[in-house]
């Protein structure tokens, strides 16, 4: 599989103009060493945004997302604590992704119709899984919706953008809080927050073990190995669209389970 560094060579960092504007706004008084470190890690911004942009509609300005991602990188640089046992690249990746997701939520780029469709599918998945006690299959969801497999696949393609935001939202309906805020920032540990973090992580881990093998592998490759969807598709020998559909089903199932567990 291609290494992240190799992909960064093929995808150069955001333009100097883009970088300079953000730097002037946020940190022109900072030490030169900090600026050099940020320049060194700028390819992370390109990597994170490019992986996310595949799920976004064409009207989203990618250059704006690069700028937001750079702010996330700056925040990561200033908040990173190496004593927590996590690499800067991992910490920065989470901060960059979180900053971009926060911006997407702020501009509310998803239509109400799309949200309603995703919510309905989540409710159907929840109903099925409460009955059978395991993650629902695509065939089971399609049958409950009264759709053919092809129609359900098309629906998964349509609601795919929602799933890329959903996994980062905390259990519940509060869209102002996101997973990266709980998991990534441990500068001032709060007992209640840390307990929530551990409980949430354990819920996700337990549920992941029950997902079908292909779903588990796709989530691991995308979120932990930082592979692009096209690269994952090549690994499995299927189309990128099919990987997107499986990813969407898996994320909706995970999110539905977490919400259900939090409501108990």
pLDDT tens for residues 182-205?
444 444 455 665 666 666 667 777
Flag the least confident range among 65-69, 128-132, 170-174, 237-241: 170-174
Which long-range contacts (C-beta less than 8 Å, at least 24 apart) are formed by 204-213?
A: 204/254, 204/258, 207/135, 207/253, 207/254, 207/257, 207/258, 208/254, 210/134, 210/135, 211/135, 211/250, 211/253, 211/254, 212/135, 212/137
Flag the least confident range among 4-8, 79-83, 137-141: 4-8
Quote the tokens at residue 114.
Answer: 């799309």
Helix (H) or strand (E) holding 261: helix 240-263
Higher-confidence residue of 189 and 116: namely 116
Higher-confidence residue of 141 and 224: namely 141
Residue 39 has pLDDT above 50, yes or no: yes
Q: How many alpha carbons fall within 13 Å on the CB side of residue 263?
A: 9
Percentage of the chain exceeding pLDDT 90: 20
Instruction: For Cα atoms 29, 44, 189, give the angle at the middle one, nearest 5 degrees.
Output: 70
Quote the mean pLDDT of the chain: 76
Domain with CATH 1.10.1740.10 in the chain: 1-109
Flag the least confident range among 8-12, 79-83, 100-104, 201-205: 8-12
Domain with CATH 1.20.140 in the chain: 111-264
Give the predicted TM-score (pTM) of the model: 0.64
CATH number given to 111-264: 1.20.140
Residue 5 has pLDDT above 60, yes or no: no
pLDDT at 196: 60
List the one residue out of 126, 38, 97 whose CA is nearest residue 223.
97
CATH number given to 1-109: 1.10.1740.10
């Amino acid at each position: 599989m291609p290494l992240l560094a190799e992909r960064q060579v093929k995808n150069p960092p955001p333009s100097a103009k883009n970088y300079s504007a953000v730097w002037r706004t946020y940190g022109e008084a900072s030490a030169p060493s900090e600026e050099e470190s940020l320049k060194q890690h700028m390819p992370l911004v390109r990597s994170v945004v490019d992986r996310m942009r595949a799920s976004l509609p064409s009207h989203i300005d990618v250059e704006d997302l690069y700028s937001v991602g750079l702010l996330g990188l700056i925040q990561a640089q200033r908040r990173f604590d190496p004593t927590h046992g996590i690499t800067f690249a991992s910490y920065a990746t989470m901060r960059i992704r979180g900053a971009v997701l926060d911006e997407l939520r702020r501009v509310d780029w998803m239509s109400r119709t799309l949200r309603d469709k995703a919510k309905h599918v989540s409710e159907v998945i929840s109903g099925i899984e409460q009955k059978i006690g395991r993650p629902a299959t695509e065939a089971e969801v399609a049958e409950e919706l009264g759709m053919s497999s092809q129609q359900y696949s098309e629906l998964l393609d349509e609601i795919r953008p929602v799933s890329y935001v959903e996994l980062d939202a905390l259990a519940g309906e509060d869209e102002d809080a996101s997973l990266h805020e709980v998991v990534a920032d441990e500068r001032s540990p709060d007992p209640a927050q840390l307990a929530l973090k551990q409980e949430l992580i354990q819920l996700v881990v337990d549920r992941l073990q029950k997902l079908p093998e292909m779903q588990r592998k796709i989530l691991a490759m995308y979120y932990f190995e930082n592979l692009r969807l096209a690269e994952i598709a090549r690994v499995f020998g299927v189309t990128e669209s099919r990987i997107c559909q499986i990813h969407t089903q898996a994320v909706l199932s995970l999110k539905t389970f977490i919400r259900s567990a939090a409501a108990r």
